Structure 1
Amino acid sequence: MTRKGIKNKSMATQKLLFFVGFLVMAAIFIYSYSQPKLQLSLPQKGNPNASQRTLLHSKPKIGRDVLSKNFRLVIKVLAYNRLESVSRCLESLAKADYDKDSVKLHIFVDHFGIEEQGKSAVPIDVDRLQAQWLEAWWPSSDDEFAFIVEDDMVLSPLFYIYLRALIATYYYNPENYSPMIYGASLQRPRFVGGKHGNKLKVDDHTRLFLYQMVGTWGQLLFPKPWKEFRLWYDMHKSKGIKPILQGMVTNGWYKRMREKIWTPWFIKFIHTRGYYNLYTNLLLERALSVSYRDAGVNYGKKVGPDSQLINSSDIPDINLWEMKPLKLINWYDFCFQKVLVHRLVKKLDELETVLSSVHEQKRVVLVSLFRIPDAIVRNLLCQFKKSSIRNYILLGEKTNLLEDLARRGHATIDADQLLDDMTRVGLVDQKFSKVPDFMEALVYAHIIKKSLLLNYSIWLTKANIIPTEAIFSSESYLKNDAILLETDQQLRTELLYLKSSEATIQLMSNVLVKLTEKTTSSVIGDLPEGEDIFGFQVRSAITRFNFRIKLIDASLMTHVGSYTSNSSSKTSSEPVAKVLFWPPNKDTDYVKERLTALDMWLIDDELSCTSIICHQS
């Protein structure tokens, strides 16, 4: 290194040391003067003026008494070379009310070089902002929380009391706790990450809601999800995997800024896990944390405050401390589409509520998941999302997959618990519920009959079938009482539609009678080779009833192995395939290979959709 280079490096080091030294001295002065419990190192004596900052009677009732005795919140300030910004930030932290709690403050100052004749004297790592976020915190326990503050932010005097109340309500209260919540943002919500998503708007009576998007201007992090993310990040980084999530605005950010920013990584993780963040709705562009959007990595020049800072809880038009039970709070995905979580039917009486939440013009699609691999199921759901098919209910055995799908907002039916309930109330004889084929047939019949009685028309399909056209909503089909496939003059029920009517209700009643009037061995003995019990009984009953049946030519149902991208061409003389199928026991790798060739394999190695697809509502 030349003497000039050594001199430049020395000057940069001196500048950095001066900035850090000034910052430490400023912080010590500010906190020694005005805040007894915000610690750089050791607790200090009380401040007689603390009560003047926030009225004690305005604090929420929930607080320290609900928290664990090991509860600890650490404030992490991420700073660079913006002395005015960080001074303003520290001053706002100093003025906050900590209610006699001991709160640790950690200040992270990124290194920076000096400019000489348009060139940087010391190289600057481009990923330092990302590294600041990722390296700032590793939870020491499940009772330690981090509040991340960038240096161009200002905090409300009430921010700590509010965060403490949130933690008490939605982390320590078991009735409101959900492992799906990774933290809370105090910034004003204003950004929808999914391209072509809905406008970010909630009603004026809502104070809190859950939204998948992370908020970097005042983000509270819960310990367990953050640990999970850091391990996930390290694993993906070591394998050279990029945080690409098609359909997200942040995907463009990553392509431009690469490893300067950390949010695309966290967003990809959130999408994979199905996690959510708490947000406030304080009206009139008000917030408990405000970014001044000073010039830096994200902004080329100073923009100014993004919101109006709340300095007092004495707000006549809202109750700042309102924190409703979790079951009353709305959830929104990256498209700001409302998500109805935990819709899991375990009793026949619960079916009506779920039907009403999914129907489209009183029509629903019942999807059988029996003996279908997880990857096939999740890929089908991505297909449904792409095709904007929303009126479906998933039916399967009690598995971790079914519970996870319900948690993520898919309407589901637990066949095992449903059958137990029907056995308990006398709808099903216990001797039939022990035979798997009978179990499926009975569950199908009871769900379909119940749906028809509630005036819902219903499709029955299986997860090894993918529609290539909108057959579930085609009016040319749905005017008929029933729709079935026809192969060699034989009726098949791989794709079945029943319109709600007296005739179809009578048909399902007949099926149930036939299922229960014989012994299991005699019913199974009557089956033709390769037939399933439910399909055989439906087809037998249909031949005894005289109502309009629409038969779909089975040539329109194409095996995935023989389907090509040209098969759907309208110029082809061949029949246009409306559904793809494969045997349920077909190897997953084979199905993946075929669907990949058709651009219809839409999940990644973690079984998450590779794209966020928004349909405005």
Structure 2
Amino acid sequence: MFSRYYCTRRRYLLGNKTTIKSKILCGFCVTLLVLVFASVDVMVNENRIITQLFGQVTVDREFLNWNSVTQNMSELGRCKLVTAPQRTPVDLRIIVITYNRPNSTLRLLDSISKAHFEGDSILLEVWIDKSRNGNVSHETLATLGNFRFSSGECHIHVHKEHVGITGQWLHTWNPPRETPELAVIFEDDLTVSPYFYKYLKLVDRKYGHSPNVSGYSLQGKSIRHSSLVSDCCLEVDTKYPVFLYPTLGTSGFAPNRLPWIKFQDWLAEVKKNNQSVPFVPKHKATRWYKSFIATNKADSMWEMEYLYYTWKNQQYTVYPNFQDHRGLTFNWYEDGLHSTGKGRGKTEEQRNLVLEWTLDDQSLPSEPAYVDNRGVVIKTEVRKTET
């Protein structure tokens, strides 16, 4: 409009005697204005896109340059920030939960990237919690933005608000009943064996149909959880390559899909009706939880409802039983909610991870041995119940 006014006014002043010079000048003005408007439009659209991508993240003065993060995350093969979980099923959904340990998270992601996925469809999701006042770790975001995952998609989720360890565990995988996908949840201070997925596929195919199987733990060492015993660890004869145990192991846990959905439905009803869930009797976790209540740290322990639900319905977790307590995950026990940050050495990781593959379908029993919280092998089959 402005350019048309300028050209009309000039023709009036020249008595409508348009010259070549005036035509060139008018054209130049029009071109200049078009370029200006186009630049403004691009800037508006760019800001709108950035707002859509990062609008859920609270920015403070210590945060990184968001434009640079957008540029980094858009590069081929790198993790990208998304606003909603992908609903399309995959063969394996890897869920990594973190808060503000960028180096630990990167170490875990590096170990995941070296795993054998056998050409299956893989989705790697990293969920970042916010602080209680709504901030997110800029260092963690920047570190993840430079990570490349070559075996599938890599998505970064930032929770809209602080959800704590409970929200991270219970609400990051909400599969529909009909999905065939398998999911595994890792806390950020773990590393994994290259064979962790090979193992999960094997045990899920073998035992996933059982309503008594609540899920699959990847840890190779676990304590005995009965309050009636004082010494440490489970010692199950290695003639049992796997065993069923009443207490889940959180150092890498893959919920069995249908029992997990039923548990989530049950828990939603419990919360809706504001019910309190009883404690599991004679269980060490009950003693720990009561001590956390006394010190106002109860929200650091998410498992209590799950332990009660699986105990009530006689559901068990499948544990691996490799020689020397080797496992498919290694826990570094870094500074966090339940550890003091002493750390562990590289040689310990090498000694404790499964680095050679020996299992196959024929080497697994049709029904694993049942072990109670005292570490005693149950000789008789556990009664199956409907949940």
Shorter-chain TM range is: 0.5 to 0.7
Change in 2 beyond 3 A, CA 1:282/1:150: same
* Match of residue 247 from structure 2: 213
SS of the residue corresponding to residue 290 of structure 1 reads: strand
Deviations 1:195-237 (A, max 9, x none): 1248511113221111111011111111111111112222223
Aligned to 1:80: 99
Aligned twin of 2:170: 134
Matched, 1:193 2:193: no
Q: In the alignment, does 2:204 pair up with 1:167? A: yes
1:326 alignment partner, SS class: coil
Deviation sequence 1:395-448 (CA, Å, 0-9, x none): xxxxxxxxxx8337xxxxxxxxxxxxxxxxxxxxxxxxxxxxxxxxxxxxxxxx
SS of the residue aligned with 1:331? strand
Which amino acid is the alignment partner of residue 276 of structure 2? I
Q: CA offsets, 1:160-210, max 9 Å, x none?
A: 122112222222xxxxx4210011111113211111248511113221111
Among 205, 212, 228, the residue aligned to 2:262: 228
Residue 248 in structure 1 maps to residue 283 in structure 2: yes
Q: Please say if residues 252 and 329 of structure 2, whose CA atoms lie closer than 8 Å, have aligned partners that are also in contact.
A: yes
How big is each residue's C-alpha offset from its partner over 1:70-91, in whole Å with a ceiling of 9 and x where there is no partner?
A: 7722110001100110010111
Question: What is the TM-score of this pair, normalised by structure 1?
Answer: 0.42
Q: 1:321 — aligned with what?
A: 360
Contact 2:112 2:194 in 1 (8 A): yes
1:27 and 1:311 map into 2 onto residues whose CA distance is 35
Q: Which runs of 5+ in 1 are unaligned?
A: 1-9, 33-37, 42-69, 115-124, 172-176, 343-404, 409-605, 607-617
In the alignment, does 2:124 pair up with 1:147? no
More contact order relative to length (CA 8 Å, sep ≥ 6): 2
* Contact 2:92 2:181 (8 Å CA) reproduced: yes
**Contact 1:139-1:145 at 8 Å conserved across structures:** no
Please say which structure displays the higher CA radius of gyration. 1
Determine which of 193, 205, 210 is the counterpart of 1:156: 193
Give the 3 Å change call, closer, same or farther, for CA 22–275 of structure 1 in structure 2: farther
Q: Is this contact kept in 2: 1:39–1:104, CA < 8 A? A: no
Q: Give the alignment partner of residue 407 of structure 1, picking from 377, 384, 387.
A: 384
Residue aligned with 2:92, SS: strand
What's the CA shift for 1:106? 1.0
| Partner residue, 1:95 | 114
Q: 1:217-271 deviations in whole A, cap 9, x for unaligned?
A: 1111111111111122222233230442231111122221322221122111111
Give the match for residue 319 of structure 2.
279
Q: Aligned partners of 1:149, 1:321: CA distance in 2, in Å? A: 24
Contact 1:96/1:158, CA 8 A, preserved across alignment: yes
Q: What's 2:138 paired with?
A: none
C-alpha displacement at 1:340, in angstroms?
3.8
Aligned partners of 2:222 and 2:249 also within 8 Å:
no
Return closer, same or farther for 1:11/1:75 CA change in 2, 3 Å cut-off.
closer
Partners of 1:24 and 1:304 in 2: how far apart?
A: 36
Q: CA deviation at 1:152?
A: 0.8
Kindly provide the CA deviation profile for residues 253-305 of structure 1, in whole angstroms up to 9, marking residues without a partner as x.
22213222211221111111100111111122321111111111111323326
Unaligned 5+ segments in structure 2 are: 1-56, 83-88, 134-160
Helix, strand or coil: the match of 2:383? Answer: helix
The total of aligned residue pairs comes to 284
1-structure distance, mates of 2:170, 2:352: 27
- Equivalent runs, 1:390-429 vs 2, <5 Å: 406-407=383-384
**Runs of at least 4 residues off by over 6 Å:** 16-19, 21-24, 26-29, 38-41
Distance 1:311 1:209, change over 3 A: closer
TM-score between the two structures when normalised by the length of structure 2: 0.64
The answer to whether the 8 Å contact 2:166/2:300 transfers is yes
Corresponding residue SS for 1:167: helix
Give secondary structure in 2 for the equivalent of 1:252.
Answer: helix
Q: Structure 2 CA distance, aligned partners of 1:73 and 1:24?
A: 28
Letter of the structure 2 residue corresponding to residue 92 of structure 1: S
Tell me, in whole angstroms, the C-alpha distance in 1 between the residues paired with 2:375 and 2:338: 24
